[in-house]
Amino acid sequence: MSAYPELEKRLDYVFRDVELLRLALTHPSVAHEQGMPVQHNQRLEFLGDAVLQVVLTRALYEKFPAFGEGPLTKARAKLVNRRSLAEKGRSLGLGQHLILSRGEESHGGRERPSALADTYEAVLGAIFLDGGFMAAEHFIVNHFRDAFGELSEIPTLENPKGELQELLQAHSSEAPHYHVISASGPDHDRLFECTVHHAGVELARGSGKSKKAAESEAALAALAALRKQNLAESQP
């Protein structure tokens, strides 16, 4: 009989080697308290983090074929952060199963977000070692299905003008040019419309409450159009 039947039920995974799960639940504070070499979950956390990155990167790569490394990295960061991993660890009840030092226990270590996030990744690493990549992928897909489903579009880029310039200058030394073509409304509520051009061709238009905002919207529209065009040209 497993020592963790309730936890394995919540994980939707039964370990063949339950010692891997025990190791995943062992907090580093145990080693510090005993003052001697004691195995803990940091190595499994390192492994689980890598597996999580691979699975979600592949999913984003397939879901958003028109986007490059920068936007995909931002989308992955939106899915995976310490807060979201801590919430997943808390939802699984990992805190109640943590093996902690007395000091860590007395300072609320079972509910510490960093401990829950690290343990979640360690448990994932343990599943990977125990059941292989497909078992780990199944675990990740189940846990991130809702969050991934809500990610219907790539998060807004922090610097669309810079992204556009980088994309264009991969093939040309000429930088894009922006032109304000209209400004309307009262002084306290102006609306600017802007175009962006490259090599004498208008790429897109955008509007905003300031010239900077209008240029950013134009750059975003141009990025979307160019990536759609590049994707179409790459299809057989």
Choose the catalytic residue: 104, 121, 137, 217: 121
Quick one: 195 exposed, middle or buried, by C-beta within 10 A (0-12, 13-18, 19+)? buried
Indicate if 49 belongs to the active site.
yes
H-only helix segments in 151-189? 160-168
Distance from the first to the final alpha carbon of the chain: 55
Indicate if 150 belongs to the active site.
no
What is the per-residue DSSP string for 52-108? HHHHHHHHHHHH-TT--HHHHHHHHHHH--HHHHHHHHHHTTGGGG-B--HHHHHTT
Choose the catalytic residue: 45, 49, 104, 118: 49
- φ and ψ of 227, to 5 deg: -70, -35
Cα-Cα-Cα-Cα dihedral sign, residues 107, 113, 114, 115 = positive
Catalytic site positions: 49, 121
